[in-house]
Chain A
Amino acid sequence: MSTAFLSSWKVRVGLGIMAFFCLLAALGPWAAHTLLGLDPRANDISFIAQPPSSQHLLGTNQFGQDVLAQVIAGARGSMYVGLLGAVVGTAMAILVGVPSGYYGGKVDAALNFLTNLFLVLPVLPLILIVAGYLEGTGLTTIALIIGFFGWSGGARTLRAQALSIANRDFVRAMRMLGERGRRLVFAEVLPHLTGLIASMFLHAMIGAVMAEAGLAFLGISDSSAISWGTMIQSAQQQSAVLRGLWWWFVPPGLCIALIGTACALVNFGVDEIANPKLRVARPVSVRGAKRLARAGGGA
């Protein structure tokens, strides 16, 4: 069961890309510095806004900084925000969603209202306002804000699932046996949701990476921090588009898109395995049936 989902190529490719970027974030800056001698902040005056070349594989930006080194450093920044934002967001989704679905009644009414409220509020403008009031918004602050405002979707899903589990026989039986509520929620109900929570976490991470990029692009992030978002933002500020410096803003965005795709692939693959109705729509099944029909002599 635990390895069944690896049979899908989508899951394997998605996890592979994820692992690559995690590794890049963890070891990349060190490797780039010691092995390639790249410093994301060093200004090479003789190479200002140069296209990719043998000296600078991804070219240089307006300040003569190596884009490759920046992308690698940005991976650490973006993944850090992604992870921290996802941890905060997922934790809040669990703390709101699971009790809401499990307890029902007034607890549910209040928590569900809160969830729906955050669901309909336009979160990005809200984060902008909050970040605007806070002075000196480093990556950690940004991640915390993103997590704090981005839990509602997950909480809604968890609430529905917790609701169905709370009504299952084994939970009812344990409740009748006098098992305490809180222990029951966290020791018995929560383990049944681990798969869902893992998939939510993945989603939250992508969401946080994208949100950070968006916020950085709007100039919220501390510009001294390096993330893919701040790279695109400084490219935009220096009118990179109007001057055709595509190598400056294309790589960071492509990285974000790749991680997003990887996450979508994993979810897609897991969905196909978990949901038998979607599984029959897999090209393999359709092709198999066609082959069989042909072999049957058109019968």
Chain B
Amino acid sequence: MTAATVAAGPAARPARVPRRWGFLARRLGFYLAAAWSAITLNFFLPRLMPGDPSAGIVDKLQRVSGQQVSPSALESIQKVFGEPDANLGRQYLDYLGQLVHFDLGISVSNYPVPVSDLVWQGLPWTLLLVGSTTVIAFVLGTGIGAVAGWKAGGRFDTVVSPLTTFVSAIPYFWMALLGLWLFAFLLGWFPLAGGYDADIPIGFSPSFLLSVLHYGALPAATIVFSAFGGWLLGMRNMTVTTVREDYVLLAQAKGLSSRRVMLRYAARNAVLPNFTGFALALGHVVGGALLTEVVFNYPGIGYLLYTSLQQRDYPVMQGVFFLIMLTVLLANLLADSVYALLDPRIREGG
């Protein structure tokens, strides 16, 4: 006993201050820097074009629309992309000031609707679609991946894993096209386009919400179907590795139920890298979802980006990018918070 008590003495107690905030503060700092970088990039991109950016954009706009740009539209373009003779530093500060007030300029193709209005209109739809599908795909993929990895090499695993490999190699928008053709065109189970039934007034009435579900089901399903494979394969391989860990072996030696060993020991640890991989995955999901919106004419910002691109409506393009970037960074911060919550080594130092 004495030897042990002596041994316990000198080992210094680690600091009890939770370091969770340290980790999250570092990440927050990074995301702020990333946001600033992207905003600056957004500012300089049009100005890097040879010649006067506004003139070039007006020129392109005229070519696409086939008509003269009105003086008021010209003014809006110059507001966003700078007057020909204005000082660049001055322009940059003005630009930052406008962003702070969420003033993204005026749409050229939908003159004089502010870009922020257009973007706010589309954002809830995209958030609804991408947000819900990301969560569903994550939960589904991680869950199935854990089961496949737990009995790796078993019958379930040998069927599911190669199949998933194939499914996740399919381009999103093509999958969406196939889904549209099969379930909406051939079978007629779902509407062909749109985000809601246009005959029902927009609001929180049950019939409208039901139509939102009906219209959203197919786009959502195609996104989930092509996105969950990545999570599944990642989780499967992590589980295969984790199952060989000593703490899982010990949990089995303890005679805990295999359910408990799988959930509390294997899956609980295997899921952690999936959160660090969130940044990588989210970029793909957002990109894929934008394309899916185009396939289904879904009224989100992906579709808005598409139409603005067709009409070379640069203020809208820039505004949409700004918003997408903010949302992606926020989602990453959220994933980091969950990660910090799940991993005590990050949370309580060590």
Contacts and interface: CB of A to CB of B under 8 A. Distances in A.
A23 interface: no
B309 A128 contact: yes
Interface string B198-231: 0000000000000000000000000000000000
B168 A241 contact: no
Interface stretch (B252-260, B314-322, B341-349): B314-322
A270 to B, nearest CB: 13
A252 B173 CA distance: 12
A293 interface: no
A129 B318 contact: yes
Nearest to A263: B169
Nearest to A229: B171
Interface string B160-191: 00100110111111110110110001100000
A285 B286 CA distance: 39
Contact of A286 (B60, B153, B177, B324): B153
Interface residues of B, number: 65
Contact of A253 (B165, B174, B192, B237): B174
A129 B44 CA distance: 12
Interface stretch (B12-20, B114-122, B138-146, B288-296): B288-296
A286 B153 CA distance: 6
B54 interface: no
Interface stretch (A41-49, A194-202, A212-220): A212-220
B318 A256 contact: no
Contacts of B60: 135
B33 interface: yes
Contact of A125 (B153, B314, B320): B320
B305 interface: yes
Interface stretch (B2-10, B71-79, B94-102, B325-333): B325-333
B317 A120 contact: no
Contacts of B162: 265
B290 A124 contact: yes
A257 B177 contact: no
B328 A122 contact: yes
Given A153-B280, A257-B170, A217 B34 contact: no
Nearest to B42: A129
A244 interface: yes
A282 B165 CA distance: 15
Given A218-B306, A283-B153, A264 B165 contact: yes
B38 interface: yes
Interface string B299-313: 000000110011010
A242 B283 contact: no
B156 to A, nearest CB: 11
A128 B305 contact: yes
Contact of B177 (A113, A124, A218, A236): A236
Contact of A121 (B38, B149, B152): B38
Contact of B181 (A206, A246, A265, A285): A246
Interface string A146-177: 00000001000000000000000000000000
B283 A260 contact: no
Given A250-B178, A256-B174, A120 B33 contact: no
Contacts of A280: 153, 244
A244 B41 CA distance: 42
Contacts of B295: 236
B62 interface: no
A259 to B, nearest CB: 8
A214 to B, nearest CB: 6
B31 interface: yes
Interface string B10-41: 00000000000000000000110110011001
A128 B303 CA distance: 13
A249 to B, nearest CB: 6
Given A120-B31, A242-B185, A130 B291 contact: no
B337 to A, nearest CB: 15
Contact of B328 (A121, A217, A235, A268): A121
Tell me which of A117, A241, A280 has the highest count of chain B C-beta atoms within 10 A of its own C-beta. A241
A277 interface: yes
9 contacts: A129-B318, A232-B174, A236-B294, A241-B185, A241-B192, A249-B174, A258-B169, A275-B241, A283-B153
Interface of B: 30-31, 33-34, 37-38, 41-42, 45-46, 49, 60, 149, 152-154, 157-158, 162, 165-166, 168-175, 177-178, 180-181, 185-186, 192, 237, 240-241, 244, 279-280, 282-283, 286-287, 290-291, 294-295, 305-306, 309-310, 312, 314, 317-318, 320-321, 324-325, 328-329, 332
Interface of A: 113, 116-117, 119-126, 128-130, 132-133, 135, 153, 206, 210, 213-214, 217-220, 232, 235-236, 241-242, 244, 246, 249-250, 252-253, 256-261, 263-265, 268, 271, 275, 277-278, 280-287
Given A235-B177, A283-B154, A283-B158, 20 more contacts: A117-B37, A120-B279, A121-B325, A122-B283, A124-B287, A128-B309, A129-B45, A129-B318, A232-B174, A244-B185, A244-B186, A246-B181, A249-B174, A257-B166, A257-B169, A258-B169, A260-B171, A261-B169, A278-B240, A278-B241
